[in-house]
Homo-oligomer: A and B are copies of this chain.
Amino acid sequence: MALRRLFTATVYRNCQIRPGYWRADLDLDSSGCEAFSEVQPGQFAELRVSDISLPPAQEVPANLRDLAQRNIILRRPFSFCDVHAGPKGIRIGVLYCVLGPATVRMMSLARGDQVSLIGPLGKGYTVSPEKKYALLLAGGMGAPPLMHLGEYIRARYPEVTPIAFLGARSLEHLPYDVHIDNEKGAYAAEYDRIGVESHIATDDGSIGFRGFVTQCVEQWLKEQAIQPEEAGLYSCGPEVMLAATVALADKYGIACQVSMERMMACGIGLCQSCVVATKGKGETGPYKLCCMDGPVFDGKDVVFE
């Protein structure tokens, strides 16, 4: 079991990146830096957000006004969109979508505020260094850990080319700074910045490829005439999208890792709330814990519900 700790981080910055999507950068204390020195993309941390103030009523999205009033006690799991070790320590980026009482409160984090974290937790993505392409499939808020993975691969596996496929219902649900270029088509500036080619897919075609992100990848696989052993799929997003990704991986015989999401009470293997059904001898095999055995699983092992 890798190192994991309960520690404090200091907010360096917290800002809205587009309506409903925010990014917080946190500077870890020395204990956190130690724990995060070998963090893998796809791991997560449990943030304590119960002590943060509620933003003023007019800043709370109308559809969340009722939910926002809930007094919260549990931590919340978040993965990281990047982890940068600088001279003064480690800074992690958390990209988050505002959709409930905890994330509403996170909007009011300000520089200098302190946040308690437990992490890094769970098992992240395992990069296959022999594959030519690492295809990163992100659905909606699935973005953060894959961004980290892209950068991680660029830094450590020069032989592997990461390529991101970023899907969402429509343009306004894409948590990126999307650009359009005559040559490259639609791409995300965030991935561009880390030197990762990206493709955009929207269900409604409001930008990029029209259709599911899995269809977009499939088209690319065909166009490029990729051989199964040349590529690995790394995906994160809503469960239907992950199931489609696994089906695609099966069809083409490509290895595939999926990052699963579950409501988690503890994040550290105490409560059994976060189980994921896995394949076994019979119909389904044992449940595994998303927080300990995952969140990243081999696509072959997961039984989607």
Contact = CB atoms under 8 A, between A and B. Distances in A.
Contacts of A54: 51
A56 interface: yes
A52 interface: yes
A11 to B, nearest CB: 11
Interface in A217-261: none
Contacts of A71: 50, 71, 73
A170 interface: no
A53 interface: yes
A108 B114 CA distance: 13
Contacts of A113: 56
A56 B114 contact: yes
Contact of A53 (B56, B57, B73, B108): B108
Interface residues of A, number: 12
Contact of A51 (B50, B53, B73, B114): B53
Nearest to A116: B57
A107 to B, nearest CB: 12
A101 B114 CA distance: 19
Nearest to A68: B51
A89 to B, nearest CB: 19
Contacts of A56: 113-114
Interface in A55-96: 56-57, 71, 73
A288 B46 CA distance: 50
Nearest to A52: B53
A52 B54 CA distance: 7
A112 to B, nearest CB: 9
Interface string A11-36: 00000000000000000000000000
Nearest to A10: B56
